[in-house]
Amino acid sequence: MAPPASPPSRVFAELDLAPAPEGRVGPAALPGREVHVSGSAELSARPDRARVSLRLGSRKEAAVAARSSVSRRLEYIAHSARLRGIPEENMTVTEDFSRVENTYQMEAEVCIIFSDFGKMQNVCNLLTEKLGTSVTINPPHFYHTPEAIDTLRRQVCVTAVGNTHRKAQEVCRLFGQALGKPLLIKEEETKEWGGHIDSHLSHSADSQTLQERIQNATAYASCRVFAVFEIKGKENRRKKLL
């Protein structure tokens, strides 16, 4: 039985050395000499926003009493958030008033957007302590803003180009050559996975810890580039030693 075939070798760099013209000696640069290199990078970004939803309600025989009970708690929630630096535009309140049989029912939902997860925990802990079971605080939903995803995309591409440039320098140094200017830099492949977009729906299990939720919402991106660099000539070893 024949042995299994060896996997193909992975070529990450190719040094294209043109032969020197007859009669020429010394380290002068030759036209058409290039090094072809591929490089890649993979980066991740934790979510930069969290949405917390709080629900509260009251059911009374009198409409005024039902509204008043909910309003007092809504004011306390908004006041507590403002004291901790949460701007008004990051808080959304939705109210629903209805009549159920011979009673009046007032329900409200408060959605608060946090960019500081430490403040988020402080606010949620305070409201749990002060309001108890009269308010239901749902687990936070972590997500990325479009700006955060764009930053991740740019960073992974720049990092891949930097890795490719360093690899080209290492190849040239190995052969005693000096790396010149880039002649071509081409993005070959980009991938993105993980993370949550800005959505009101959260599919995370309620049993997850805070850190597990953050990890599950972490976004990843990878980029592979191909580059061609000019080879200037022999490396000046004397200058390098100095």
Please give the structure tokens belonging to residue 203. Answer: 């599919």
Average pLDDT, the chain: 85
119 vs 122: CA distance, rounded Å: 5
Average pLDDT over residues 123-134: 95
Residue 21: is its pLDDT beyond 50?
no
Please give the structure tokens belonging to residue 224. Answer: 């592979």
Lowest mean pLDDT, pick from 25-29, 33-37, 118-122: 25-29
Cβ count near 59 (within 10 Å): 15
What counts of helices (H) and strands (E) characterise the chain?
5, 9
DSSP string, 67-130: HHHHHHHHHHHHHHHHHTT--GGGEEEEEEEEEETTEEEEEEEEEEEES-HHHHHHHHHHHHHH
Q: Which domains does the chain have, with CATH numbers?
A: 34-46+146-199+212-232 (3.30.110.170), 49-143 (3.30.70.330)
Residue 41: is its pLDDT beyond 90?
yes
Asked if residue 232 lies in contact with residue 179, where contact means CB atoms within 8 angstroms, the answer is yes
Residue 160: is its pLDDT beyond 70?
yes
Residues 6+ apart with CB under 8 A from 60: 66, 69, 103, 104
171 vs 158: CA distance, rounded Å: 20
Report which of 107, 142, 117 is spatially closest to residue 212, judged by C-alpha positions: 142
pLDDT at position 208: 83
Lowest mean pLDDT, pick from 21-25, 44-48, 122-126, 141-145: 21-25
CA neighbours closer than 13 Å in the CB half-sphere of residue 19: 3
Please give the structure tokens belonging to residue 150. Answer: 């764009």
Identify the band that residue 57 occupies on the pLDDT scale cut at 50, 70 and 90.
Answer: very high
Q: Which helix (H) or strand (E) holds 191?
A: strand 177-194
pLDDT at position 16: 60
Sheet holding 13-16, edge to edge: 13-16, 34-45, 219-234, 177-194
Report which of 67, 81, 70 is spatially closest to residue 127, judged by C-alpha positions: 81
pLDDT at position 205: 53
pTM of the predicted model as reported, rounded to 2 decimal places: 0.75
% of the chain exceeding 70 in pLDDT: 79
Long-range Cβ pairs for the range 148-151 (8 Å, 24+): 148/45, 148/47, 148/48, 148/219, 149/45, 149/192, 149/195, 149/219, 151/45
Residue 202: is its pLDDT beyond 60?
no
